[in-house]
Amino acid sequence: MPLHSVFLDNTMTQPFTVPVSLAERSYEIVIQTGLLEKLGRKLQEQGVRGKVGLVTDRHVARHYLKRSLETVKRYGIEPIPIVLTPGERSKTLKTVEQILNVLARHRFERSSMLVALGGGVVGDMTGFAASIYQRGIPYIQVPTTLVAQVDSSVGGKTGVDHRLGKNLIGSFYQPRAVWIDPLTLRTLPTRELIAGLAEVIKYGIIADESFFAYLQRHMSALRKHAPAIVSTVVKRSCEIKAEVVAADERESDRRRILNYGHTIGHALEALGGYKSFVHGEAVGVGLVQEAELACFQGICSRPVVENIRHIVQEAGLSDRMPPWTSQRIWKAMLHDKKVSEGRVIGVWPERIGQVQIGPIEKHVFEQWCSVSRGSSPRAHA
C-alpha cells in the first residue's frame, strides 16, 4: 500500500491505553490507528524540544520515514534520522556504535530523546543505545511489526546479538512510552505478520482463555488486517505482557511464562542457524510441541493440544517438528539461557489460559521424541 493511503485512508480511532506499572519507571502504551500521523504532536506533548533521534531501518524508512520527519518538523522539533540496515544480522554492537556516533556528532544531551521506529531489531538496538549514551537518555518505542507491537517494545529488554549467542549483550531499560499504530502492519510482509501471530496465540494460552476464543473466531479477519480486530488483539496482548512484566520486571518466576513455546522454539531457531525460521515461526512449532510434551507428562489433556494445533495452523504457522535428532534438539535446549542445573525449565499448559512452570529431564524428552516419532530418537538424522 502506498504511503499516503496508510496515513490518509483511515479515520483515526479512539486510542486504547495500557498502563505499564513499574513504580517510577511506569509508562503508557497507546494504541491508535493513524497515530503515526500525530508523531510530532505526541513528541511535543512529551516535552521534546530541539532534536530527536529517529532510528529506523531501510525497509521501514521506505514506507514511513519521510512522512514521520514531516510531522515532527511541523512541531518545531528537529529530527535526526538514523537509518540502519534491516534484519537480525545487523543487531550488533557495531550497529549500536553507529547510532552512538550520530548522537555524539549531533551533540545529543542527557535530556535528548530517541525514537525507535521499526521492528524488534530497531527497538532492541535503540533501547540499548539509549541506555548507554551518557549513562541513559529517554527513548520511545514506535513499533511497526506485530512482534514488536505485542512483545519486544514492552518490557524494557534491550540489547544486541553476539557471535556466541543471541541477545547476549544488553540491559533492562524502560522506554518513556510505547506508541502503536496498527495501520503500519499493512505494509508488513505476510511472513512477518504470521510470525507475530505465534506470540499473540501464546498470550491466550498462558493467560486468557476468552482471548484465545476471540482469536479462534477472528483469525481470518486478523490475517486480513481488519483494523478493529488488530487493535483489540494488540491491546489485549500488551495488557497481558504488561501485567506479567509489572509483576516481575527482571525475569524471575512469573515472567518465565512468557517463554511458553520458546524452549523448543529457540532450539529450532539455533539449529536452523537463524536462517530456516524467523523467530515467530519457530515459536509456532514450540507452542504445539511443548503442548504435546505437556500432554505426554500428564499435565494437559489431548483436546488442549489439538486446540493449540488448530489455531496455530489457522494462523498459517507450521506445527511440525523438523527431523533433527532428539539429542541435537535437547542440546540446543540446554544451551538456551532458561536452564537450571542442567535441566531444562519449561512452561507447560494445564488448560487454555493456565500454564505451570517446571523442569524436564533429558530421558523424558527423549522418550517423548521416540514415542511421538514412532521410533528410536537415534533413527532421525
Ligand X SMILES: NC(=O)c1ccc[n+]([C@@H]2O[C@H](COP(=O)([O-])OP(=O)(O)OC[C@H]3O[C@@H](n4cnc5c(N)ncnc54)[C@H](O)[C@@H]3O)[C@@H](O)[C@H]2O)c1
Cell of 87: 534484519
Catalytic annotation present for 135: yes
Amino acid at site 18: V
What is the 8-class DSSP label of residue 355? E
| Cβ(351)–Cβ(294) below 8 Å | no
For 271-298, give the DSSP string: HTTTTS--HHHHHHHHHHHHHHHHHHTT
Residue whose CB is less far from ligand X, 57 or 292: 57
Q: Which amino acid is at 65?
A: L
State which residue, 56 or 326, has the beta carbon closest to ligand X.
56
Exposure on the CB side of residue 63, measured as CA atoms within 13 A? 22
Nearer to ligand X, 91 or 380 (CB): 91
Write down the catalytic residue from 59, 202, 235, 259. 259
Active site residue 218: no
Shortest Å, Cβ 359 to ligand X = 24
- List the alpha helices (DSSP H) in the chain: 3-8, 39-45, 58-73, 93-105, 120-132, 146-147, 190-207, 209-223, 227-247, 262-271, 279-296, 302-314, 326-335, 362-373
Rounded to a whole number of angstroms, the minimum distance from the CB of residue 45 to ligand X is: 24
Q: Which of 42, 91, 279, 380 is catalytic?
A: 279
Whether residue 338 lies in the annotated active site: no
Q: Which of 63, 157, 202, 235 is catalytic?
A: 157
Looking at 28, 88, 243, 251, which residue is catalytic?
251
Q: What's the min distance (Å) between Cβ of 52 and ligand X?
A: 20
Place of cell 483489540: 232
- Residue from 203, 360, 197, 342 nearest 294 by CA: 360
- Is 320 among the catalytic positions? no
Cβ 116 to ligand X shortest distance, Å: 10
**C-beta closer to ligand X: residue 86 or 261:** 86
Residues forming contacts to ligand X in the complex (CB under 6 A) are 57, 59-60, 63, 86-88, 91, 118-122, 124, 144-145, 147-148, 151-152, 155, 157, 167, 184, 187-188, 192, 279
* Catalytic (active site) residue 266: yes
Please say if 239 is a catalytic residue: no
* Structure-block grid coordinates of residue 182: 496498527
List the catalytic residue out of 241, 249, 292, 366. Answer: 241
Nearer to ligand X, 184 or 231 (CB): 184
59 as an active site residue: the answer is no
| Smallest distance from ligand X to CB 353, Å | 22
The residue among 184 and 307 lying less far from ligand X, judged by its C-beta, is 184
Which three cell numbers mark 192? 512477518
CA atoms within 13 A on the CB side of 319: 19
Catalytic choice (135, 224, 250, 275): 135
- The question of whether 199 is a catalytic residue gets the answer yes
- Catalogue the active-site residues: 135, 157, 199, 241, 251, 255, 259, 262, 266, 279
